[in-house]
Chain A
Amino acid sequence: MSVRRSHHARPPEPPAGPLSLQRNEAPDDQQEIAITPSDSASPGGTPSAGTATPAVELRGITKRFPGVVANHDIDITVRRGTVHALMGENGAGKSTLMKILYGMQKPDEGTIAINGEQVSFATPGDAIARGIGMVHQHFMLADNLTVWENIVLGSEKLYGIGAKAKAKIREISDQYGLGVKPDALVEDLGVADRQRVEILKVLYRGARILILDEPTAVLVPQEVDALFDNLRELKAEGVTVIFISHKLHEVLSVADAISVIRRGTTVGDADPKAVTARQLAELMVGAELPSPESRDSTVTDVEMLRVEGLRIAKPDAEGVERVVLDDISLRIHKGEILGIAGVEGNGQAELVEAIMGMLSPDGGAVTLDGVDLTGARTRARREAGIGYIPEDRHRHGLLLEAPLWENRILGHVTERPNSKGALLDPAGARADTQRIVEEYDVRTPGIEVTAASLSGGNQQKLIIGREMSHRPKLLIAAHPTRGVDVGAQAQIWAQIRSAQREGLAVLLISADLDELIGLSDTIRVIYRGALVADADPATVTAEDLGTAMTGATTGNIVSDRVPSTDTADHVQAGE
């Protein structure tokens, strides 16, 4: 594993001056970690690589949606016959980029070249014709048909529907070692087999460039290894694989090249031979080292939230039980911000939903300010004083097509000034919305416009204003500055801090280490559903936190003496 070998991770060029790292120029700050600043292929080539024209060349891809820039100036070069990993947190823009490459969406700017030839895709059909195939995260197979029927379906013209087609399927299966049985019924297949059918399906259609969207998300570890063996076979046969993932170790073990996307743009390429998991983590989340303001601790010893032994385990489609939250216990005091660090998908979302009462845990207790909320419904919990800034504000925080003042009511319909008794108080809600708009600097022409017409940052400010207006005892802030412009970001941080001074307890979930270290009083690291490590934000470095996020370190992280666990590559963590 390359993780163990990378003693000389730091590139020769001098690191960019940390003082120049303002928050609004995130893309440039990564040179000290990125092995190569951008497109040029890294020197440590793999045996199978080396063809002159790259298989895929994306240049300056920009895609805008109303209110958001999903992709911005993306440059990626994928060499032929390699496994190229595309990494980034959820919402970083990976999916949009792949949809563009697969012809599902058109870029607003930028060019796509396949095998050196400039192309423009109007539909996925055009992409398929160019030899690009995509395996979606959610399989698109008809359960009641056989493997053979599923593969032939829609491509009857290629090899017919009879014996010739079946022979071709066998041939491809043997060629790449996929082990697919054409006559098996899809409903009898497990997840990993279905995935191989999906891969065969695109190969059957002549794909030489394969896009795999988070292929390991649905697999158990042994299946992941088997998949990776398949990918190596494909690579050996000259197929190019683009592999989307945010799982560090998987990427390091299978990829020949890595491109990292953050906030919609490429922040750098890395050579998996020379980069460590924690450097990748930093690259993904943007670990520009903050200057944690010297501030007086506002932490009191009054306990506000107590979570005991929270556990959620759900069986997946295969019937295998997957532990989502593994015996989580934590306490937050008045005036304390507890930050949860972790690579996304390690149980953060479930922890938040369990505390909010949206997900009922299999075990454990939640107590707020001495009141047992374990069996309480979401509304009762909100009324008891939990404010909630959801991770996905469009799905959980707003009614996009409703006016702002109705959005101000959302979540607090039982409380003043939104209602009196069982009746709504639209006048009161409107007046208070106007106040929020002014106090929280929500940029809007009025409170009758729909929430959808505001930019992400202004939507978020409205949500924060709404939650703060009910004087919560505990604020759950999940990625409060995600998708928010720089100006709004600073305001949101300031608002959380000022509420903290007034005695608010905050549970902060963030993928942004900068934000976590800068805001939190205590940091806990979540890995595979368990809180595995804790750290003092005053002394911890982003690098060490990144290591812990990969599950490599446990216990208390002390930055001066990194406990030498199985990752022996600790670089001196200087201030």
Chain B
Amino acid sequence: MTSPNPPAAGTAGRPRSQRFDLERIGLGLAAPVLAVLLSVIIAGTLLATSGRDPFSAFKIMWDYGTASDGQVAVLNKATVYYLAAAAAAFGFRMNLFNIGIEGQYKLAMMFAAFVGTQIDLPAFLQIPLMLIVAMFVGGLWASIAGLLKVYRGVSEVISTIMLNAIATAVIGVLLVPGILAPKTSGVTNSIQTAKISESSHFFAIETQGGTLWGFIVIAALVGVVFHFTLNRTRFGFDLRATGRSESAAKASGVNVKRMVITSIVVSGALAGLVGLPELMQNTPYFGQNVQTGLGFIGISVALLGRNSPIGIAFSALLFAFLDASGAQLPTRGDFPAEIIPVIQGTIVICVVVAYELVRRFGLKRQQQKVGAELAAQAAAAAAPKDQKEVAA
């Protein structure tokens, strides 16, 4: 009974398994690359059928993306997308669909802006304070969905979507002169908070291509902490285990209810950061004309980036590039900017399908490979094995 594995298995196992990994990485990359190619082809076909030259459109985008001012704009956009995607990905990693990033970041942004107008501490206190306020508000808003799911069985998809609408209404109620907005709302007609204090401004890097937002450092930090938490902590293991199999996680001792609440709060807290680059680096107040839709872009970016901190960095850059360069299409040539949402949409659809296909293919292939390798081992060790069976 104690006969160990044939020695081959122990020593030769490692390199073989690394080959598995390389193959898996290859498979993993194939899916998004194919999805992007396919969507570019579809967009090109669309342009061609409407009588425009797709190649000159792509050239405009490419030229913009390779110019330094374009690159800075892409990086700034990507910073925001990355934060939104990280928020979405954190939930996705345990099968929680936080569709409410939209509402979470807007509420968080509003309260952070209000705090920024009311308090004027030195920057090294003021900026962390605003970050904390934003994360707290985002997390608090998301926790409603978590509590509803755990104690009332309400699907977080439904509740977060509804909370988005409620968040908009809450903003409408609070963002009125005399509450969060000053009594006189300045020169414009739109209602907005006062300007945040000077110390609330985040540092920026002036480059020859324009102002690069210092918030990219925060985004990178979020990525590092995300990766570390998920892959190197007990909490992260519990989270991934719950995402992979809730029943197995429960049997292994994970408190699934607490896990649901914790992770949706973390997701909401990350979502709280999404609006801050704009607030602290570009538009120093929160108003009705705040950018919308970042939460949904975050979901797309997270899907394309496969919920991994590195993957979403690349997909955030891609989406930011598409958006920033797509904005040039109507001005630098006779091209509709709508072609960009077409590309993004097809990428997401293709990539979701492709990932699932790759996942199944990879699983099956590995089973076959393991089977084949074990059969070979068994053949090699046939003689001693027979003896053992007789003994049993």
A interface residue numbers (CB < 8 A to B): 23, 66-67, 356, 358, 377-383, 388, 390, 395-402, 406, 409-414, 419, 422-424, 426, 434, 437-439, 441-450, 452-454, 486-487, 490-491, 494-495
Contacts and interface: CB of A to CB of B under 8 A. Distances in A.
Interface stretch (B130-138, B140-148, B322-330, B365-373): B365-373
Contacts of A491: 1
DSSP majority for the A interface? mixed
Interface in B2-25: 2-5, 9-10, 12-14, 16-18, 20-21
Chain A CB count within 10 A is highest, among B18, B237, B254, B378, for: B237
A410 B244 CA distance: 12
Contacts of A419: 234
B363 interface: yes
B36 to A, nearest CB: 25
A454 B9 CA distance: 14
B241 A399 contact: yes
Contacts of B234: 413-414, 419, 422-424
B255 A379 contact: yes
B232 A423 contact: yes
Interface in B352-380: 359, 363-364, 366-367, 369-371, 373-374, 377-378
Of B1, B244, B253, B388, most A-chain CB atoms within 10 Å: B253
B252 A411 contact: yes
Contact of B237 (A409, A438, A486): A409
10 contacts: A388-B251, A390-B251, A406-B237, A410-B252, A411-B251, A422-B235, A426-B232, A446-B13, A446-B16, A494-B1
A215 B244 CA distance: 32
Given A402-B244, A424-B231, 7 more contacts: A67-B367, A383-B253, A426-B232, A443-B377, A445-B12, A453-B371, A454-B370
Contact of A450 (B238, B366, B389, B392): B366
A66 B364 contact: yes
Interface in B223-276: 231-238, 240-241, 244-245, 247-248, 250-255
A466 to B, nearest CB: 10
Contacts of B392: 23, 486-487, 490
B248 A453 contact: no
Nearest to B246: A395
Contact of A438 (B4, B12, B20): B4
A453 B251 contact: no
Nearest to B5: A438
A395 B363 contact: no
A355 to B, nearest CB: 12
A445 B17 contact: yes
Interface of B: 1-5, 9-10, 12-14, 16-18, 20-21, 231-238, 240-241, 244-245, 247-248, 250-255, 359, 363-364, 366-367, 369-371, 373-374, 377-378, 388-389, 392
Contacts of B1: 441, 490-491, 494-495
Nearest to B374: A443
Nearest to A403: B17
B251 A444 contact: no
Q: Specify the main secondary structure of chain B where it touches its partner.
A: helix
Contact of A449 (B10, B235, B245, B370): B370
B245 A400 contact: yes
B258 to A, nearest CB: 10
Scoring A414, A446, A495 by chain B CB atoms within 10 A of each residue's CB, the highest score goes to: A446
A256 to B, nearest CB: 39
A406 B252 CA distance: 12
A242 B28 CA distance: 46
Contacts of A383: 253
Given A402-B244, A414-B234, A446 B14 contact: yes
Nearest to B245: A399
Contacts of B12: 445
Nearest to A497: B1
A402 B366 CA distance: 12
Contacts of B5: 437-438, 441-443
Contacts of A437: 5, 9-10
B367 A66 contact: yes
B366 A424 contact: no
Contacts of B238: 413
B237 A424 contact: yes
Contacts of A380: 253
Contacts of A439: 2, 4
Contacts of B255: 377-379
Contact of B252 (A413, A434, A446): A413
Contacts of A453: 363, 366-367, 369-371
Nearest to B7: A438
B17 A379 contact: no
A538 B247 CA distance: 37
A439 B369 CA distance: 23
Nearest to B21: A448
Contacts of B21: 448
Contacts of B370: 444-445, 449, 453-454
A402 to B, nearest CB: 6
A487 B388 contact: yes
Q: Which of B21, B247, B359, B388 has the most A CB atoms < 10 Å from its CB?
A: B247
B269 to A, nearest CB: 19
A426 B237 CA distance: 11
A444 B366 CA distance: 11
Contacts of B9: 437, 443-446
A382 to B, nearest CB: 5
Contact of A398 (B231, B233, B248, B378): B248
A399 to B, nearest CB: 5
A378 B250 contact: yes
B18 A448 contact: yes
B389 to A, nearest CB: 6
A377 B253 contact: yes
Nearest to A377: B255
Contacts of A486: 389, 392
A378 B254 CA distance: 8
Q: In the complex, which of the residues B1, B2, B14, B238 has the most CB atoms of chain A within 10 Å of its own CB atom? A: B1
Contacts of B250: 358, 378, 396
A480 B241 CA distance: 23
B251 A397 contact: yes
B284 to A, nearest CB: 39
Contacts of A395: 245, 247-248, 251
A411 B235 CA distance: 13
B20 A448 contact: yes
A434 B14 CA distance: 10
Contacts of B240: 402
Given A411-B253, A414-B234, A423-B234, A396 B18 contact: no
Contact of B13 (A23, A377, A412, A445): A445
A447 B248 contact: no
A315 to B, nearest CB: 17
B367 A452 contact: yes
